[in-house]
A and B are shown apart, each in its own frame.
Chain A
């Protein structure tokens, strides 16, 4: 499988590592992943770091997954509403699927996402996990 290229990964480091989103200076809308133009038409956006806590909105368990995640089956993917209301989708780790439920308190964690083979780059980024353990 072709991985995300090294330059693209490098450019995305602020949003992969620290959930750096873009906020419209005119209407205040926050975008994650970042965008270059707001729905209101403004192109004046600033960087803003999203909070690292939230609640689980919904989740699903994937048994058919992409090549990079074959060894991690089953994969839990969920939508988390962060404490400022922004919703972010991501992988859920350190959790047992049958014990997860919408509303569960979640935290952002820093994890390996893709390792490009044995010799290539290890790409890190955000995932979510339940607070206090499930």
Chain B
């Protein structure tokens, strides 16, 4: 038994991709300019029969397979999403039955824009650390929305990432965590609205950078870390530029954030964004590596975590579970019409 930490991870990226230039072609934007602004070459698109539930199940199954544990030992499961197929009916209860968990599991869906999945991580850590659950699981899952023709459409994409927390078989031990939250009107979706709105002037400085940098700096000050302590840093990735700038504001060099950046290849998977980057880093991390993980959710808030990779990482990397890198390469391109069909954006008689 060691201290609480991440026992296992699993990620899922749907196979379909649409290129930024294909979206730009439809809406009359200059594709080179759009790619230059967002540093997103293409984004993942869920299949016609996929949604935040199916994506969560696939990511979670991979995490369980890697952990090699009986799923009935997982006493808490949390789903963080902002693309629930049901307004009222939880994803987490579907996870209980789809994963074969015990009925005696704490389960709830969390909502805090893109931060909810990481808030599930905090809750799971709390339950496991206090001895009230042997293992806990959180899944960040989204088929995120962006109004067609609006700039969010260039990044809003689909994917999921799951983490299992425990004290036995820890691959990345938790050292510290810190939260930074304020009421910030940067991005919202009203009840019944199909697409979110974003307050342009609020997206960057008052929202993303204030909260990411606030959480990371707060953690470093409270627990005595300096930027050079970290082998890797992973931030929420709404586009390719924001995490680079956040790293620069924190004096963290580019080579420490590059391994965790996935947005360029799959877009912004919202609740899976930072967790997917974390999964990619864990796929290749070495014992002793220290990872700073800072997800962000609009509205707005960030949780900063520091994990230290343990000797068990090598065995967890050799379980045959698909790596994030493998999924980034495994893709089928679709055109804009197929994309609209797959995203269920064509109105049909039902």
Chains A and B come from one and the same complex = yes
Of the candidates B47, B49, B58, B332, the one having the most CB atoms from chain A within 10 angstroms of its own CB is: B49
Q: How far is the CA of A52 from the CA of B97 in the complex (A)?
A: 16
Return A83 CB to nearest CB of chain B, in Å.
13
Given A17-B97, A71-B48: A110 touches B15 (CB 8 Å cut-off): no
Which residues of chain B have C-beta atoms less than 8 A from A93's C-beta? 47, 49
Give Cα distance in the complex from A95 to B51, angstroms: 18
CB distance from A68 to the nearest CB of B (A): 11
Smallest CB gap from B60: residue in A: A110
Contact B49 A72 (CB under 8 A): yes
With A71-B48, A112-B50, A133-B332 as contacts: A117 and B350 at CB distance below 8 Å: yes
Measured between beta carbons, the chain A residues less than 8 angstroms from B94 are 124
CB contacts (< 8 Å) of B332 on chain A: these are: 94, 96, 133
Question: Is B335 interfacial (CB-CB < 8 Å)?
Answer: no
Check B97 against A14 for contact (C-beta < 8 Å). yes
Interface of B is mostly: loop
When distances are taken between beta carbons in the complex, the residues of chain B under 8 Å from A110 are 54, 57-58, 61, 98
Complexed CA–CA distance, A124 and B91 (Å): 12
CB distance from A33 to the nearest CB of B (A): 17
Given A122-B85, A124-B54, A133-B15, CB of A94 within 8 Å of CB of B47: yes
Contacts of B58 in A (CB 8 A): 109-110
Q: Could you tell me if B50 and A111 are in contact, using CB atoms closer than 8 angstroms? A: yes
A18 touching B100, Cβ below 8 Å: yes
How big is chain B's contact interface, by range?
20 to 34
**A 91-133 to B, binary, CB cutoff 8 A, 1 in contact else 0:** 0011010000000000001111101011000101001000011
What per-residue 1/0 map shows which CB atoms of A10-31 lie under 8 Å from chain B? 0001100110000000000000
- The 0/1 profile, CB within 8 Å of A marked 1, for residues 103-123 of chain B is 000000000000000000000
Please determine whether B49 and A127 come into contact, CB atoms closer than 8 angstroms.
yes
Most buried by B among A13, A49, A52, A111: A111
Bound form: Cα–Cα A94–B94 in Å: 23
Contact B86 A94 (CB under 8 A): no
| Nearest CB of chain A from residue B111's CB, rounded to whole Å | 19
Contact A124 B98 (CB under 8 A): yes
- Docked Cα-Cα span, A93 to B332, in Å, equals 12
Please provide the 5 A-B residue pairs with the shortest distance between their CB atoms, ordered closest to farther: A110-B57, A111-B49, A112-B49, A17-B98, A118-B350
Can you identify 16 A-B contacts, CB atoms within 8 angstroms? A14-B97, A17-B97, A18-B97, A71-B348, A72-B48, A93-B47, A93-B49, A94-B47, A110-B57, A111-B50, A112-B49, A113-B49, A117-B350, A124-B57, A124-B94, A127-B49
